[in-house]
Amino acid sequence: MRLSGVELRLISMPLVAPFRTSFGIETTREILLLRVVTDEAEGWGECVAMADPLYSSEYVHAAADVLTRFLIPALAEVPALDGNAVAPALARFKGHRMAKAALETAVLDAELRTQGRSMARELGAVRDRVPCGVSVGIMNSIGELLDAVGGYLDAGYLRIKLKIEPGWDIEPVRAVRERFGDDVLLQVDANTAYTLADARHLAGLDPFGLLLIEQPFDEEDVHAHAELARVITTPVCLDESITSARAAADAIRLGACQIVNIKPGRVGGYLEARRIHDVCAANGVPVWAGGMLETGIGRAANVALAALPGFTVPGDTSASDRYYRTDITEPFVLDGGHLTVPSGPGIGVTPIPDELAAVTVKVDWLPL
Ligand SMILES: CC(=O)N[C@@H](Cc1ccc2ccccc2c1)C(=O)O
Ligand SMILES: [Mg+2]
């Protein structure tokens, strides 16, 4: 394919409810979308970076800048552009994995649409629907939390994940167990809010039979997670720390994680995400698909990834209405706790022009 240009589109999506984590509270999701135009087809990619560098060092306007000044121009020089050619062409630029992931996904989407192949087929999906969990934010009271959890269980979600932070951890877990019983699949995500000094406190979660505790410590403190895994019985899962297949192999070898949350944006794209899946599968480490409050564009590709064989625990691929009243694509609707894997060419969805226009803040066209 030959690249004729890339559209960078900034959209602003109001959340159905504020979403609070240990690193802050979100009421609106600012998202950068890429539309790659080639001589054969167009492709879409969603950058999962937040507006502020709170989850990781990336943020929306930095992604737009690095794409505009470095990453997109680097693709103009690629003679035979396809999904596999993107990461090598961008490798000389350090970091910016979420920006790189959005660009690679858009090129891969265009290539697959040209070939009439689905992302699921390309990645090696073995299922046509995936079991879905839901991520529940930190709430103002235990009562409010229990109402939210009850609503999600009524909606059919097969797994509940609670955001935790110091001061909001054991009590909410205990309350959910007491109200909804021991059979509900339940896990927690600390988004790096604790340190090894909290290990004994975190062992207080062990009696509640959690599936996992996700990323309790700093992204770079892999050893501390291995230490923690030796003193608690709850399996340790990593998210922010797993930035590549190599990082996954190192963390597994160090005993720092028994489960991995895979997010294509965090690791530079769906092709690296598949490599992480393969490394984990080779080591008997279950994986699940994390979420970054994606629109249907990112959600479609995440659901395809979640259909790979090693994704054996429900992920955060929730329905569109978990976050948005109106999605910019046909909404993903929970059916018996599952989402259907898109089967059309490429990511299998495209934005609905009127919905996209309604949330668009800024559009830039970068000709090549
Ligand atoms: C679904 C879920 O819990 N996602 C991330 C955290 C997260 C939380 C809030 C966010 C707000 C805006 C953009 C990305 C965000 C990601 C996680 O697993 O750690
Ligand atoms: Mg997480």
- For 199, phi then psi, to 5°, come to -55, -45
pLDDT at 281: 98
| pLDDT tens sequence across 245-259 | 999 999 999 999 999
- Does the model's pTM come out above 0.90? yes
| pLDDT tens sequence across 169-212 | 999 999 999 999 999 999 999 999 999 999 999 999 999 999 99
Ligand 1 pocket test: pick from 30, 259, 263, 292 the residue with the most ligand atoms within 8 Å of its Cβ.
Answer: 292
252 C-beta neighbours (distance < 10 Å), count: 20
| pLDDT tens sequence across 19-68 | 999 999 999 999 999 999 999 999 999 999 999 999 999 999 999 999 99
Taking phi over 0 as left and psi of -120 to 50 as alpha, with beta for the rest, 116 belongs to left
Three-state DSSP at 171 gives helix
Contact 37/2 with Cβ under 8 angstroms? Answer: no
ipTM > 0.95, yes or no: yes
- DSSP designation for 205: G
| Interatomic CA distance for residues 254 and 267, integer angstroms | 19
pLDDT at residue 237 is higher than 90: yes
Furthest-apart CA pair in the chain: how many Å?
61
Q: CB under 6 Å to ligand 1: residues?
A: 19, 21, 26, 29, 50, 55, 135, 189, 191, 239, 290-293, 316
pLDDT at 276: 99
| pLDDT tens sequence across 305-344 | 999 999 999 999 999 999 999 999 999 999 999 999 999 9
pLDDT at 77: 87
Ligand 1 pocket test: pick from 30, 48, 55, 157 the residue with the most ligand atoms within 8 Å of its Cβ.
Answer: 55
Tokens encoding 120 = 């699921």
